[in-house]
Amino acid sequence: MNIEKVLGQVDALYEENKGAEAERLMQESIAAAVGEQDDESLLQLLNELLGYYRETSQKENAFRIAGQAIAQAERMGLKGTLPYATTLLNVANAFRAGGRLSESLALYQEVQRLYEELLAPDHMFMAGLQNNISLLYQEMGEYGKAKECQLEALQIARDKDAAYELGVTYANLAATCVQMGDTGEGYHYAREAVQVFQGMGVEDSHYGAALAALGACCYQEGRYQEAYGHYRLAMELVERGIGRNEAYYRLKEHVENCSIALWESC
């Protein structure tokens, strides 16, 4: 199987907002990889499909594919390798999104152990891992721990001059600061994130997260019109890029709350 061609087709379908067609192509390709006994392609496709189900909030499908991905990696004898760590990381992200928080934390800790054995402390994978762990701590309400992870990621991204990871980290920090009640610092980080993503021409979920953090800061300060604009754009980005998942409906609720606040303030 020409896995690069298949994944390129999947990406093209994502760009055209044809998620259902991308899902079908991945499912068909998984069946073909099984038939061809192409283990490496099968593992890549399982990881890709897992990410799709996570992004579209299809929890049960994500959990099912997660089990298949880990089993496939173990059948291939990949334990203790970076590809195995990548699979565990993807499963940890899916568990986090699906509410299986303790299991997610255990997997993140295993990934960190492998990274510490296999990578330099300032490797960009470390920054990505710290950002992912921070999102779990946000879900657990442990915002101090989340911020510690994000500051570690920020240092690595700055040292490596990694613009995209820098934008991701700024967006995550903004959300944490908002939850901790520091809207001033949160607004600063959110603006930094927005500037990074706009400079790169990026309009993905992380850009949406930065806009949502700006909206939260403005809302808490009573700037409802600004908050409405930021939330509305974030909602449209999510719908255009992924569809109407859980994040979309959370943002829709924020937009409606801003509309009510504006009406009441008239």
| CA 237 – CA 251 distance, rounded (Å) | 11
pLDDT 10s digits, 102-139: 999 999 999 999 999 999 999 999 999 999 999 999 99
Mean pLDDT of the chain: 92
pTM: 0.88
How large a percentage of the chain has pLDDT more than 70? 100
Asked if residue 266 has pLDDT above 90, the reply is no
pLDDT 10s digits, 139-164: 999 999 999 999 999 999 999 999 99
pLDDT 10s digits, 1-60: 788 999 999 988 887 778 889 999 999 999 999 999 999 999 999 999 999 999 888 999
| CA 133 – CA 190 distance, rounded (Å) | 19
- Residue 113 is predicted with a pLDDT of 97
**Widest CA span in the chain:** 66
Q: What are phi and psi of 48, to 5 degrees?
A: -65, -45
Helix, strand, coil abundance in the chain, percent, nearest 5: 85, 0, 15
**102-116, 169-183, 187-201, 233-247 — which one is most confidently predicted on average?**
102-116
In 3D space, the residue among 42, 133, 137 whose CA is nearest the CA of residue 83 turns out to be 42
Three-state DSSP at 250 gives helix
pLDDT 10s digits, 205-229: 888 889 998 999 889 888 999 999 9
